[in-house]
Chain A
Amino acid sequence: MATPAISIQNLTKLYPIPFKREKVTAVKDLSLTVEPGQVYGLLGPNGSGKSTTMKIVLGLVSPTAGKTEIFGRDSTTVESREDVGFLPENPYFYKFLTGAETMAFFGKLCGLSGARLRERTKELLALVGLENAADRRLGGYSKGMLQRIGLAQAMVQEPRLLVLDEPTAGVDPAGSREIRDLILDFKKRGITVLLCSHLLGQVQEICDRIGILHQGVLVREGRLGDLISIENQTELILENATPELLAEIQAAVGRSNGRVVEQRQPQTTLERYFLEVTGSPERVIGDR
């Protein structure tokens, strides 16, 4: 059995309140596993413990109780982060550095150097579409550009696990779709992704499994398809169905124990519609 990419066992985190005895429970007895190659969505309202969980997995904060591991390594150790790339929410980078300098800096922190680092920088900047902005300082980047450079630096050391915190927050639909496609490409390459996002539509498109946190407690967890399927209903989409055919189907359902819950025309997504109208065609990774 493969070592889980992330293993969280009975994780609890309490924060003290200054000058008071009681403590704030950020995470309470959380246990979950992310298998290698999965895209896992960690969801929850603001203040539910997602960020705290993520910080503990990344070793930035120590747990009060419990254990977290990344590919079998204790996540409180520095070595566990060799396999992790992190894209923070509202990317936190040095604004005085250019795109290329940012990549070089983080690459060196991951042990890359020389020609290998230059090659990797060029490759990743091209992948995220920032090769023309490589010499511009990050202080002049747009929100979408910052998200992209964030993704690029997260990938610099070819990690086995990517932790993405709101990767498409504040990004326009075209950019958001590109980031989504990148995540799907990572999945094809066998990279595990832990994703935190409030954009549930996107989570639904890309995640294999989800966990929902509420007030520090994992309230639901499992395969996305299993969790959101309505068990006793079946969706049937027909093309060029005549009124007579529809009437036959209604009659057949009426003769059985079933019931037609709803009959309507399916809709495209607002995202696809928006992209068509604004002339931003869907692009396949590598089409640059």
Chain B
Amino acid sequence: MSRNLWFNLSIALALILIAAFAGRLHKWDWHRSSQHTSQTSREREQTTTDPGSDESDSSKTEILVRFRPNVTRDAIENLTSRLNDEVEDRIEAVDGLDVIEDEDNRSADEVVAQYRALSEVEYAEANSEIKLDHEGAGKHVHANDELFYKQWGLFNHGQDGGKSGADISAMQAWAVTKGSDQVVVAVLDSGVDYTHPDLAGNIWTRPEIIKQYEDEDLTEGAIDDVHGFNVVEDNGDPMDDNGHGTHCAGIIGAEGGNEVGISGVNWTVKIMPLRFMDSDGAGTTKDAIEAINYVINRKRAGVNVRVISASWGSTIKSRAMEDVIRKAGDEGILFVAAAGNDHSDNDAKPHYPASYDLNNVISVAALDRNDELTSFSNWGATSVDVAAPGQQIVSTWLNHGFEERQGTSMATPFVAGVAALILSTNTAISIDDLRTRLLISVDAVPALKGKVATGGRINAAKAVASQ
């Protein structure tokens, strides 16, 4: 009996030990599984989270405030401190524009109202989070254009030795907007081949209700500006005989999704061709001013021209040109300009018109397909605003062809094109807001730190998201 008892107890103990060990195994296995599960969740979060999103304390209210030019840094610090706020960041590209963080749990509307009430403040607005909205997130629109595979600036998947993702995120932007024929972009250049099959549908034509161009100093009466203006020959035919203007126009708005050639940043837009440079790609300050004057005239006449793309320049400073560009800004026209190709610092040696310190000017440097500043591009920690693709850029050319070119000339129309995309979804946006939106939606690029004011590459998807 006792032997049986011991035998039974031994069996029971063995079973308990087996059960316990089995349970431990199961528990260990479950724990490992749960660790794996949570790790997978984290990985999943990382892949779906916008890499450009801010990981800082998102519970605090942040707003954007631009202080008036005469308000000193000390005064700004005193003001924000008095309101129990902090200057979280300065947007160096825009004088007086600060990111203000609220420290006493007020809503964005309340904080904005506080600052708008101050005489020292030019404007204040909520810092709406820029991210791809849920519906747009992950969506891409692929262009079927024949040479799209070469357009690394729009979609860089590492082709030809490039760095995947080093592009302007065009395909994500196109899930939100592909542009609009109500937005007019002036290409101030060597003219544009307005008969090019990949451009013709996106060339501006003066509506009948808009009168022909008349300028006080025109001795031969009005100019029949059907598609634009030729300042060099003082007529209404801005046909390109150099190729440069046609190339820039294609980057902004070659027809997209038509199986022909390339896709522009905008599939649909209206390009206003202007010719002030000759067949050698050179022009005078006076002719550039005349062309800008034409754009202002057309804007006042009712044409919705909101962007001038200026892929040219020199080291010559002109007060007259500065004045006419400022006037364009007063009319709600953004002026996007090439930083220059001298591989020099524009802070030390300015390059105009990009270096005019005006609220409507954006200065653009050039990146290569690996997100490195190109060997030729100018830079400027305070005077150059952003960078965009500018090397081995394929676009429309003369004789209905397509060619590759490099230069800050090519980077500039990428930015002008993104401005047009923004305008296609928000036609009433002010020039200050348009410029700010372009500058705060960049992707930070390590090679641009200390080289351009925003430290980033233009990002079309962020620029058109959550407007």
Are A and B interaction partners?
Answer: no
